[in-house]
């Protein structure tokens, strides 16, 4: 079964994570980056919506069991490659040359929430699922780039509260804080996200250039500051 799949609805690419919890490991990053390549090869695509086929989860974030297994087996390079691959996914979403819209249909935890923040806009199902950064409870610090992605989407006071408390937020709360465009009923989520994404109709060249200039500092942080932590496998904080 595919980890990532995509289909086209008019001029909108609908990218679906289809692996249950949609936890992120090396296979996930490779599949997502390949999917982005395929989407961009289709010149008719003018927007992209990222969602999940799972009934309960958008993405539960990093596959901690996979990472732990690789570290225990001293396969450190696999973990390093995964982390750079994940940064590539985040950065490509940030700079995608068409509107990238997350349709958050369930729980978005950790890296799953961050991935939605890397998108340009977010919609979320209002009757199921929470948006949460649980890293403070599992002693996993954010990379500098991750902090930048979230700050792009979440107002500073709310980010401060969520980051340091691990507190969960609902779609209704996120809509009130302008983190998401709209909290939607289950059946309306994907159609509304697709309609919103498809309404832009902008040329790729100008869209890409605007995003490059707008996010120049965040790209610098990813490229220049994150490697210090990734290469050293500085992933956990001891009590």
Host domain of residue 154: 4-198
User: Is 220 domain-assigned?
Assistant: no
pLDDT at 236 over 80: no
| Distance separating alpha carbons of residues 239 and 229, to the nearest angstrom | 18
Residue 84 has a pLDDT of 97
Q: pLDDT for 126-174, tens place per residue?
A: 998 999 999 988 888 999 999 999 999 999 999 999 999 999 999 999 9
User: Is 230 domain-assigned?
Assistant: no
Backbone angle region of 166, left / alpha / beta, with phi > 0 → left and psi within -120 to 50 → alpha: left
By 3-state DSSP, what share of the chain in percent is helix, strand and coil, each rounded to 5?
Answer: 50, 20, 30
Label residue 92 by pLDDT band (50, 70, 90).
Answer: very high
Q: pLDDT for 49-71, tens place per residue?
A: 999 999 999 999 999 999 999 99
Task: Count Cα atoms within 13 angstroms, Cβ side, for 94.
Answer: 27
Task: Spell out the residues 6+ positions from residue 120 whose beta carbon is closer than 8 angstroms to its own.
Answer: 96, 99, 100, 101, 211
**Site of tokens 């390079």:** 77
**Site of tokens 């939607």:** 184
User: Is 215 domain-assigned?
Assistant: no
Strand ranges of the sheet holding 131-132, from the earlier edge strand across to the other edge:
57-59, 107-109, 131-132
Residue 129: φ, ψ to 5°: 105, 150
CA 194 and chain centroid, separation: 17
Residue 238 has a pLDDT of 60
Task: Count Cα atoms within 13 angstroms, Cβ side, for 187.
Answer: 0
User: Is 205 domain-assigned?
Assistant: no
Strand partners, 182: 123
pLDDT at 190 over 80: yes
Write down the mean pLDDT value for the chain.
Answer: 95
Label residue 234 by pLDDT band (50, 70, 90).
Answer: confident
pLDDT at 82 over 70: yes
| Distance separating alpha carbons of residues 152 and 27, to the nearest angstrom | 27
Task: Count Cα atoms within 13 angstroms, Cβ side, for 153.
Answer: 25
- pTM comes to 0.95
Cα–Cα distances in Å, from 188 out to 50, 112, 126, 153, 175?
Answer: 15, 21, 10, 22, 16
User: Is 82 domain-assigned?
Assistant: yes
% of the chain exceeding 70 in pLDDT: 98
User: Is 223 domain-assigned?
Assistant: no
User: Is 67 domain-assigned?
Assistant: yes
User: Is 224 domain-assigned?
Assistant: no
Query: Domain count of the chain?
Result: 1
Q: What mean pLDDT is predicted for residues 8-24?
A: 96
Between strands 100-104 and 121-125, the pairing is parallel
Residue 82: φ, ψ to 5°: -60, -45
CATH number, domain containing residue 123: 3.90.226.10
């Amino acid at each position: 079964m595919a980890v990532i799949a995509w289909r086209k609805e008019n001029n909108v690419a609908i990218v679906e994570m289809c692996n249950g919890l949609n936890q992120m490991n090396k296979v996930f990053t490779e599949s997502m980056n390949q999917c982005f390549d395929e989407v961009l090869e289709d010149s008719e695509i003018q927007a992209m919506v990222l969602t999940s086929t799972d009934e309960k989860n958008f993405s539960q974030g990093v596959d901690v069991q996979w990472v732990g297994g690789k570290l225990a087996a001293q396969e450190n390079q696999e973990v390093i490659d995964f982390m750079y691959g994940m940064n590539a996914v985040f950065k490509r979403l940030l700079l995608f040359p068409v509107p990238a819209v997350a349709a958050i249909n369930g729980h978005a935890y950790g890296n799953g929430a961050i991935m939605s923040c890397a998108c340009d806009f977010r919609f979320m199902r209002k009757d199921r699922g929470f948006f949460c950064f649980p890293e403070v409870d599992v002693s996993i610090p954010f990379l500098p780039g991750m902090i930048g992605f979230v700050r792009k989407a979440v107002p500073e006071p709310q980010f401060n509260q969520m980051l340091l408390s691990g507190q969960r937020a609902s779609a209704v709360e996120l809509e009130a804080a302008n983190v998401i465009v709209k909290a939607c009923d289950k059946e309306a989520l994907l159609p509304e996200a697709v309609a919103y994404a498809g309404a832009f109709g902008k040329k790729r060249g100008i869209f890409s250039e605007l995003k490059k200039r707008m996010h120049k500092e965040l790209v610098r942080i990813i490229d220049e500051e994150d490697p210090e932590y990734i290469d050293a496998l500085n992933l956990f904080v001891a009590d």
